[in-house]
A = this chain, B = another copy of it.
């Protein structure tokens, strides 16, 4: 196994200095076209590619961005958001040859994870997802001098650029859809309240009820999990007057809720209407097909990556608002039962 070629080898073969090779590589002006050709063909012949660590050292840029997934391990696999979001990031950064460093951590170690990411300088910037109401990370990245964009935290006073995709229109639309179908008792099985997006969905549900002139609905925590959704559904169905419709924080808890309701002998949607959130691939294949809200996490990842890259390169970037989530009506919602 022969040592892999360095810039010096290329320079020698092309009969120029290392500086010239570097200039050509970064297509800087002021190199004769003939020289450029010689350098390029020498590089090609040797199969030379610059070492990223050497480059990182001299430029001070790691050419990588970081994503921290701070979820309970058992939740990690259940969320369709992250894979799609990462795919969106990738489309942007791979264009410039940048990399994505992934760190997973338990929520309680999150801060240390960011600290290490910053200390090592393995990344030039990070995404802040799953922002919580009282989140320590904005202050942390500011302290560390680490460029960061907040993903989905528009109303924040974080001082960070943020990329937003509004969940609320879809949820409001869902509630209106149910109201139009005659529902008057519409419950919500929410995600963990510390998450900004869970809270926003809850707020949208609550606002929409008020807009429709309805009293406050029943609210139960579902934790974005199947188990939580199932438990909340059981509790709702045990009430003296169960709701006729339930809006869930995500598809996972909605699907589990549907199963619980059917298990209790209810027919969907005749006896109970159900709405989810996410539009997971399975949603059109549940029985009945799940009415749900669809966002576009790929475009979200793409926009977030663009914002972060710009922030890293220029020092500033504008907030961005993506197309809001929309309602997808399928078979799990229907006219309210007559009591």
Chain A residues packing against B (C-beta within 8 Å): 1, 4, 49, 51-54, 56-57, 62, 64, 73-74, 76-84, 86-87, 90, 94, 97, 99-105, 116, 119-122, 145, 225-227, 229-230, 252, 255-256, 258-260, 262-263, 280-282, 284-289, 297-298
Closest chain B residue to A100 by CB distance? B102
23 A–B pairs (Cβ distance < 8 Å), ordered by A: A51-B120, A51-B121, A52-B122, A53-B62, A53-B122, A56-B56, A74-B281, A77-B80, A77-B81, A77-B281, A77-B297, A78-B282, A82-B83, A83-B83, A90-B103, A94-B105, A97-B116, A100-B101, A100-B103, A255-B285, A259-B285, A260-B285, A262-B287
Alpha-carbon separation in the docked complex, A227 to B258 (Å): 20
Q: What's the least CB distance linking A32 to chain B, in Å?
A: 27
Closest chain B residue to A233 by CB distance? B285
Once the chains bind, are A104 and B76 in contact (CB under 8 Å)? no
Q: What's the least CB distance linking A2 to chain B, in Å?
A: 10
Once the chains bind, are B52 and A54 in contact (CB under 8 Å)? no
Q: What's the least CB distance linking A316 to chain B, in Å?
A: 15
Q: What's the least CB distance linking A146 to chain B, in Å?
A: 11
Q: Which of B57, B94, B252 contacts A103 (CB 8 A)?
A: B94
Q: What's the least CB distance linking A70 to chain B, in Å?
A: 12
Q: What's the least CB distance linking A56 to chain B, in Å?
A: 4
Alpha-carbon separation in the docked complex, A297 to B213 (Å): 49
Once the chains bind, are B84 and A77 in contact (CB under 8 Å)? yes
Known: A90-B103, A258-B287, A284-B226. A78 touches B80 (CB 8 A): yes
Once the chains bind, are B99 and A73 in contact (CB under 8 Å)? no
Alpha-carbon separation in the docked complex, A260 to B120 (Å): 51
Once the chains bind, are A252 and B56 in contact (CB under 8 Å)? no
Known: A80-B77, A80-B78, A287-B259. A122 touches B99 (CB 8 A): yes
